[in-house]
Amino acid sequence: MRIVGVDPGLHTTGYGVIDYRRGRVKLVEGGLIETEAGRELPSRLAALYRGFDEVLRQTRPDVAVVEQLYSKYDHPQTALLMAHARGAVLLGLEHRGVETVSYTASMVKRALVGHGRASKRQVAGMVAQLLGTALDDVSDHVSDALALALCHATPWAQAGRTGRGAAGLSERRDARGKRT
């Protein structure tokens, strides 16, 4: 199964693609999609959509994991811009017919490190360990995206997807917004 993790942001969106087969993970690629800060919002969203669509076209993932937004933000304007970026990413995934799931940051931290309050450094260290590679020069956005993809490949996420436990850890919604 090919999994793309996405850490959406209006200025910088990180993505990480892994292959997961028989309990083993392999790094395929990771990168950033950046938009021009001085441009109008519609232009930036279109650039993000086009850049992400190219990633999807080239990597052909089976499933995408997009970080779930949380409800309490210290900077609401930033949250709104992130929501716009997340929408462009979700539109691209729907356009390509890619199954999409979401996890909260604390779920990812719990799956990879063992507790939901792990630091970014701890998560990045576990990502590097699981992928068997050094991620010293990798953007936090790419590391976070890879963490999302790896979270989906963990046993508890797989169990939650097949109904054998870990209920409620992944969120899927139909076109009407109802959980499926």
pLDDT digits (tens, 9 = 90+) for 60-81: 999 999 988 875 667 788 888 8
Domain count, the chain: 1
Supply the residues annotated as catalytic. Answer: 7, 67, 140
Q: Domain for residue 171, yes or no?
A: no
52 within a domain of the structure (yes/no): yes
Give the pLDDT score at 99: 96
Is 26 a domain residue? Answer: yes
Structure confidence by residue, pLDDT tens digits, 117-131:
888 888 888 898 899
Query: Could you tell me what percent of the chain has a pLDDT over 90?
Result: 56
Q: Which of 52-56, 91-95, 155-159 is the least confident region?
A: 155-159
> CA 168, CA 112: separation in Å to the nearest integer?
17
- 178: in domain: no
Beta strands across the sheet bearing 63-67 = 24-34, 12-21, 2-7, 63-67, 99-103
Answer whether residue 169 is part of any domain.
no
Q: Which residue from 146, 145, 164, 143 is spatially nearest to 155, judged by alpha carbons?
A: 164
Residue 180 lies in a domain: no
DSSP string, 101-163: EEE-HHHHHHHHHSSTT--HHHHHHHHHHHHTS--TTS-HHHHHHHHHHHHHHSHHHHHHHHT
Task: Quote the domain boundaries for residue 71.
Answer: 2-162
Supply the pLDDT for residue 79: 82
**Which tens digit of pLDDT belongs to each residue from 147-174?**
999 999 987 555 544 333 232 233 333 3
pTM of the model: 0.84
Whether the pLDDT of residue 178 is over 70: the answer is no
User: CA-to-CA distance for 100 and 24, rounded, in angstroms?
Assistant: 21
Give the CATH number, domain containing residue 105.
3.30.420.10
Segment 108-125 mean pLDDT? 87
